Amino acid sequence: MDCGSRLRGWLFASLCLLLAACGRAPLYSEEAFVFGTRVELQIYGAGDARAREAAGRVLREFDRLHRTLHAWQPSELTALNQAIARGERDVAVSDELAYLIHHAQKTAAASDDLFNPAMGKLIAAWGFHADTYAPRVPQAQQIAQLVAQRPRMADLHLTGTRVSTTNPAVQLDFGGYAKGYALDRAAAILREQGIENALVNIGGNVIALGTKGSQPWRVGIANPRGTGAIGMVELSDGEAIGTSGDYQRYFEVQGTRYCHVLDGRSGYPARAAQAVTVLMPKGPQAGLLSDALSKPLFLVEASEWQARAQSLGLDYALRVDADGKSDTTPKMRDRVKLGR
């Protein structure tokens, strides 16, 4: 090879390295497994050292919340449930748990108890208080008895940080609520650490901070009956997405799918929809509300869900019905790009 050829080769290789360097975005990513699901943090433009420190703080907070709010392993929540089951009428809880109970009560009332974290005994009867669960349908009599006890969030009386109830059937399960609260805590921690641009994903529950460079954060909406996504939505700073679906925690018996989202009115798993995604605008409870308010829309029939979304003040929601048909609220139609 002559000098000219070697020079051209060196210049070509240098150009390739330069282009590769330009193409590498300053994006820091970290994954973990918390709340029984995969957690992913992406931080843009902060530098690896600062991003690693901030991500570590978030993941430590997730671990704390997991241990505080666990529904069947020893936790502050199970201690409260045990006290209620023993008939104790005045139980002290932390400020944090009192806050969550208060907010859950307001959300339950607004949804006519379609959102009902008080029915933990029913969830346990279906076998979902376990990391792995057997395909077993409870006896109809057992389900009927649990429904007849009518455990509701309104049965809890909260005075400061003191909890009382006259219904020992109440057993709290924040499994459909804790991930959203964790998103809000993550956003607060990241901002405290000076992180302006990040995306936090807890098993499909997502909150965005800032942007990904010159682009908005883009999030796929999972296909409940296949691989990939049925659509994509761009998130602005502080917006959060929560999804309820029948495709992650479920079992099948004789061809019938039984998912972990239960309808407290019947005592049986919901079957009116495959998935519901709710997008909440920026606010201090965006994550929490996006998680909690997807449940009522998942439980109602296709003919009711738009009216229910309106009554809950939800402008942005997408629902995949039991037959696989997608529908959106009018404002969500302008936000989401459907792939089918």
Residue 12: how many CA atoms within 13 Å on its side-chain side? 6
Residue 326 phi, psi (nearest 5): -90, 140
CB atoms within 10 A of CB 170: 25
Distance CA 224, CA 257 (A): 13
User: How far does the chain reach from its first CA to its final CA, in angstroms?
Assistant: 54
Residue 236 is classified by DSSP as -
What local confidence, expressed as pLDDT, does residue 131 receive?
83
Q: Which candidate, 180, 170, 158, 184, places its Cα nearest to that of 293?
A: 180
Beta strands across the sheet bearing 205-209: 27-34, 37-44, 198-202, 205-209, 240-245, 273-280, 316-321, 326-328
Domain 28-69+180-338: CATH superfamily is ApbE-like domains (3.10.520.10)
Contact between residue 183 and residue 288 where contact means Cβ atoms under 8 Å apart: yes
User: Is the pTM higher than 0.75?
Assistant: yes
Sequence ranges of the domains in the chain:
28-69+180-338, 78-165
CA distances from 117 to 21, 143, 153, 257, 330 (A): 49, 17, 7, 22, 29
What local confidence, expressed as pLDDT, does residue 283 receive?
95
Distance CA 233, CA 219 (A): 5
Residue 229: how many CA atoms within 13 Å on its side-chain side? 14
Q: Which candidate, 154, 155, 176, places its Cα nearest to that of 166?
A: 155
Spatial neighbors of 266 by CB under 8 A, at least 6 apart, are: 147
* pLDDT (tens place) for every residue of the chain, 340 residues total: 444 433 333 333 333 333 333 444 599 999 999 988 999 999 999 999 999 999 999 999 999 999 999 999 999 999 999 999 999 989 999 999 999 999 999 999 999 999 999 999 999 999 999 988 889 999 999 999 999 999 999 999 999 999 999 999 999 999 988 999 999 999 999 999 999 999 999 999 999 999 999 999 999 999 999 888 999 999 999 999 999 999 989 999 999 999 999 999 999 999 999 999 999 999 999 999 999 999 999 999 999 999 999 999 999 999 999 999 999 999 999 999 987 5
The CATH class that applies to domain 78-165 reads mainly alpha
- Residue 254, class by beta-carbon neighbours within 10 Å (0-12 exposed, 13-18 middle, 19+ buried)? exposed
Tokens, residue 169: 């059937």
Helix (H, G, I), strand (E, B) or coil at 16: helix
- In sequence order, what are the beta bridge partners of 269? 262
